[in-house]
Amino acid sequence: MNTEQNQDMEVKILEAAKVVFVRKGYESTKMSDIAAEVGIGRTALHYYFRTKEMLFDAIFGQIIAEIVPNIEPIANMDCPFLDKMEKIIPVYADILSRNPLLPIFVAKEMNRDVLHLLQTIGKNTARLSPLLRIKDQLLDEMDKGILQKMPLVDVVSTLVSLLVFPMLTKNMLTILFLEGNSQAFAEFYERRRVLVVKVMRNLLTPAVE
């Protein structure tokens, strides 16, 4: 097998590993699961990656990059925080719609090795920088009375829960409320992004005295 074929197979293995790890989590994934996803034997898989740990380390950064999108253009806009937030919410909603198993994977990794998760996210400085600038703008507008002042953890946890909870409970919501119709869930989640914007605006808009 030549170098180009080796590289092609490595790419296939990494893509398959990403799918399996997100679907099953690190602990439940076996090398045989990844080999089956690629369509090769375990011996062939071990030729490229000797251990599950090596494979996981190779693709973990790619998976985490998907939950830290590039929002540099939004961060650079000359507008209030709430207007930026209204543009950011659909970006994250789209990511979750395309990768509904991603929140489950992240939740499992938080329980398994939260430091590794945070360190991996922290390495992606190019994508973290605009998020940090938007956070600073949020705090600045709170200090100026433009926005309702509250702990940052309340803002972040409320926003994340509004977006992520439906994906974590997708099967239950679909069965209980949507007659098992997956298309109906997709339509529900599409509508939900509008609701999330309204809830966050209401949360952060100062009360009129």
pTM of the model: 0.83
CA distance 189 to 115: 31
Class of domain 3-60: mainly alpha
Other Cβ atoms within 10 Å of 113 Cβ, number = 13
Q: What are the CA-CA distances from residue 34 to residues 42, 53, 54 (Å)?
A: 9, 13, 13
What would the pLDDT profile of 101-115 be if each residue is shown by its tens digit? 888 888 888 888 889
CA distance 31 to 45: 8
Lowest mean pLDDT among 26-35, 65-74, 132-141, 190-199: 65-74
Task: Please say if the pLDDT value at position 3 is more than 80.
Answer: no
Question: Could you tell me the two tokens for 168?
Answer: 């974590």
Lowest mean pLDDT among 58-62, 177-181, 187-191, 194-198: 58-62
Q: What are the CA-CA distances from residue 12 to residues 7, 15, 20 (Å)?
A: 9, 5, 12
